[in-house]
Structure 1
Amino acid sequence: MEMGSGAFFQPGSANLTNDAVLFLKDVADLLKEPRYLGFQIEVTGHTDDSPISSPRFPSNWELAAGRAIAVVRFFGALGVDPDQKRMRAISYGDTKPKLPNNDDAGNPIEENRQANRRIEIRVFPKYSRVF
């Protein structure tokens, strides 16, 4: 699953929005079903290449990590995996864009930057991937 961070977080923040909470509650209910108990849950955070520098998030790495961690913690709080032994939060910062952030002349492409700011949730069998 892929969610654009614009609907899930305010700019420069890792606090879940009300829309994110509603959506992630539904996802959490699915992940608690017995058929998913043997599955790993990987949450990855991505940003665009716009620089950020705040006391809480000195770079895009920390912002993307904070967002991924917020989702993992939220799932844990809802009982998906309270010990968080089968969940992972990963930050890619701006290193894995879906689309180019800038055109050939170096001008920002805002639609692409928006697409690059995202959270991805991957659910896969426990032993199908090495961490």
Structure 2
Amino acid sequence: MDKPVVRDASLLILRLVLGIIFVAHGYDKIFLTGLVETTGQFSAWGVPQPQLSAYLVAGVELIGGALMVLGLLTTFVAGILLLVVAAAGYFVHLPNGLFVADNGIEFVAVLAAALLAIVVFGPGRASVDGALE
């Protein structure tokens, strides 16, 4: 198979998986858990400006995830989501060790690596960004 086709298919799958995960997390913070409860969680974890942070993170996850699925403003969005993931890793997950079962850094590290791949390699041709080139 042609290497650019494999690369673009891989980036599409990576973008779709990441986008769906972030949309789900943003949706949860806004509509299921609720922003009041999310703010309380952020406060308990020591996140600075917990109310503002909760609103920003939820919005960035929901909108950024949708843009990731579309492949629109992809590199920029992946960079912003990488900052959000890094902050979550620092404030919430790092003190708990490695494993997800202990609320550790494992899942966050995988998300960060995947987002970094999108920042470095871009969205691929199967994206709105690719169509606009």
The answer to whether TM tops 0.5 is: no
Please report the TM-score for the alignment, with normalisation by the length of structure 2.
0.29
Please report the TM-score for the alignment, with normalisation by the length of structure 1.
0.29
Higher RCO (Cα < 8 Å, 6 or more apart): 1
